A and B are shown apart, each in its own frame.
Chain A
């Protein structure tokens, strides 16, 4: 997630660069020289970027065209066979479905819930700092710790969830949760929400605080009710924050691995498998490195295409600062 944030800021700085005043022709040499020194300073970062980002991507794309077990020479070129096999693989198609399921629920349930809590905690409320901290705390936990914790909670027979279900008369749910193909995805989503809604709540809180009080005041003087103020003042001004939140949720859901790996390992029977888990299974369990590379390439392409389109169409206004400066102080 931090990496997606940094690409956004990067975009900004790149936008800012060409703002330099047009140089007169006489100092062309000088301009070149300054570019040379800029390039010189960029070398260390570029080298790292090349070695640890671009090169691995290139290697993965290359490996994806081979049938390779990870040992010995990579000489069995199969062209796009890995990809045709991939889109014929029920497990992989299931992965795509699970990703979509999590994205949809994140946007329709988790983010509105986070927004709701943020609005609540933006009121003058006794002990609101404590609530803010409590709701944000799960985000600080590592994914593995969260997963182990919830494995205990959803333990069949002895776990807290089973006792709770018994007390609430939901006998049908006992012993299921993570152990039944029909309940595992909703259960996972509950855990994801528990872990991440606090983070989005913080983003929204920050967004809410940047909304000038005068605007809300003016609206109420004009006779706007609570809902109207929220709908026509708060929500539009929160637009940039919401768009970033959606972006982070989607990328997070596409790349989900640790939480699921520890809780269910993709089971029962692939019913909670994500793309990253399939990639690990094929790469490190079955040693079908070529096929696993193909999965990683698809995963990368989906993230890349989504990011580009989203930045181009949804974030463009935010990046150029149109909306934020409109509400600025």
Chain B
């Protein structure tokens, strides 16, 4: 039975199978990006976003269908992925050299790597309406005077605090200097209140402290310079670590903070939202995550900018933050940029009304009603300087090393000097 050579029929069947699998592979390969303009003016492009939670989950499809209704020749193939899943998938796609036409970006080092690899469209010339947007919102997507992304959200990190717990500890006004903050931490501890909630497991919330301290002590130019010289061992950076150690030595964090997540049950946001800690250093999304993971503090919740450090060169109005934007694949259809223009300029008030985003269009901050969001937006408008999250501004290897080393410092496993040394080593090696 098996001794006869395969018949002509089975040979054909097999080659058919091979052809089928080949075409399947090919289909998978090209399925991620659009086909570009076809002969009959039909345009299809792929749009990857991270709108898997409200308000974006319902708002983004609304905006895209409004756009395609006005432009019947355009089809948008939307893919919405959860944050981390998106990053992993984009990494895989990037290494194959084929990005989707329009994709979520946070700017900074990752976008820079993609730009350097020649994968991202330079928008500078076609993006005339960038003058309608606030300079702060554009900064993360600009390298050497060229613009590679369109922002739809921008925000900053600051202290969210529980006014009731502050009052219980006898604190009348939020601290304006680091020394005052340390005093307040002592007062809160004396009153039996956990001063600060921190997600030690996730590391990025801890890096905010070190980054802000470095901004306040050494100043913004020092951070930018360190990125080019790849030397983070300067006195200002060591001092930032020393100041952070002053705080850590007071043991201000909740029990078991080293294993705590951010948005997970019992994590940083839940601790804060449930009134079990007096403050957290977090971005503009802080209140909504508190509400999700714990409870809404309502009128008890307040916001104050990161305090200044005595003797430091940084100003209280220098802000640290980031936002969300979209970048275009090199060679993406030009209609994609039209879509982004529609998305940002025509829908700004919708985005703001959804309470999920902060203004990128000049003057739009007047539309905000919520006091805390207004406070954040005002700080952004008044900003004298802007620094993107370090784990995004720098190449990923450096950013992650900052997160890791600062986490070690907070756990008492590294000295301030060792932190600056590790970061410098990572920067030189990257």
Report A's interface with B, CB cutoff 8 A: 30, 33-34, 36-38, 40, 43-44, 69-72, 151-152, 154-159, 174-181, 184, 264-265, 267-270, 281, 284-289
User: With a CB–CB cut-off of 8 A, which chain A residues contact B114?
Assistant: 71
How near does chain B come to A299, taking the closest CB pair, in angstroms? 19
Quick check: B201 and A265 within 8 Å, CB to CB? yes
Alpha-carbon distance between A179 and B261 when the two chains are bound, in angstroms: 11
Alpha-carbon distance between A288 and B404 when the two chains are bound, in angstroms: 15
Is the C-beta of B413 less than 8 angstroms from some C-beta in chain A? yes
Looking across the interface, which residue of chain B has its beta carbon closest to that of A38? B2
B14, B114, B257, B397 pick with most chain A CB within 10 angstroms:
B397
With known contacts A284-B87, A284-B91, A156–B4 Cβ distance under 8 A:
no
Alpha-carbon distance between A289 and B95 when the two chains are bound, in angstroms: 10
Alpha-carbon distance between A177 and B87 when the two chains are bound, in angstroms: 30
Looking across the interface, which residue of chain A has its beta carbon closest to that of B396? A287
User: With a CB–CB cut-off of 8 A, which chain B residues contact A159?
Assistant: 266
How near does chain B come to A103, taking the closest CB pair, in angstroms? 24
With known contacts A70-B95, A268-B411, A179–B260 Cβ distance under 8 A:
yes
Question: For the complex, would chain A's binding face be called helix, strand, loop or mixed by DSSP majority?
Answer: loop
| CB-contact partner of A288 in B260, B397, B411, under 8 A | B397
Alpha-carbon distance between A158 and B271 when the two chains are bound, in angstroms: 11
Looking across the interface, which residue of chain A has its beta carbon closest to that of B202? A265
Chain B interface size, as a band, is 35 or more
Alpha-carbon distance between A72 and B113 when the two chains are bound, in angstroms: 8
With known contacts A40-B6, A269-B413, A286-B397, A69–B260 Cβ distance under 8 A:
no
User: With a CB–CB cut-off of 8 A, which chain B residues contact A281?
Assistant: 400
Quick check: B3 and A267 within 8 Å, CB to CB? no
With known contacts A71-B114, A72-B116, A286–B400 Cβ distance under 8 A:
yes
Known: A69-B396, A70-B91. 6 other contacts (CB 8 A): A30-B3, A72-B117, A157-B254, A179-B259, A181-B258, A267-B200
23 pairs across A/B with beta carbons < 8 Å? A30-B3, A37-B5, A37-B6, A44-B14, A70-B94, A71-B95, A71-B119, A156-B255, A156-B257, A157-B254, A179-B259, A267-B203, A267-B259, A267-B407, A268-B201, A268-B258, A269-B413, A284-B87, A284-B91, A286-B396, A287-B110, A287-B113, A287-B396
Is the C-beta of B73 less than 8 angstroms from some C-beta in chain A? no
Looking across the interface, which residue of chain A has its beta carbon closest to that of B119? A71
Alpha-carbon distance between A72 and B4 when the two chains are bound, in angstroms: 50
User: With a CB–CB cut-off of 8 A, which chain B residues contact A156?
Assistant: 254-257, 259-260, 266
User: With a CB–CB cut-off of 8 A, which chain A residues contact B401?
Assistant: 286
**Closest 4 interchain pairs by CB?**
A156-B256, A179-B259, A72-B117, A179-B256
Quick check: B266 and A158 within 8 Å, CB to CB? yes
Quick check: B411 and A269 within 8 Å, CB to CB? yes
Is the C-beta of B369 less than 8 angstroms from some C-beta in chain A? no
Alpha-carbon distance between A98 and B110 when the two chains are bound, in angstroms: 32
Contact with A along B304-345 (1 / 0, CB 8 A): 000000000000000000000000000000000000000000
| CB-contact partner of B264 in A44, A151, A158, A288, under 8 A | A151
With known contacts A34-B2, A155-B265, A265-B201, A178–B397 Cβ distance under 8 A:
no
How near does chain A come to B226, taking the closest CB pair, in angstroms? 18
Alpha-carbon distance between A295 and B259 when the two chains are bound, in angstroms: 25
Quick check: A179 and B200 within 8 Å, CB to CB? yes
With known contacts A70-B91, A156-B266, A287-B113, A175–B256 Cβ distance under 8 A:
yes
Looking across the interface, which residue of chain B has its beta carbon closest to that of A266? B201
Quick check: B201 and A264 within 8 Å, CB to CB? yes
How near does chain B come to A185, taking the closest CB pair, in angstroms? 13
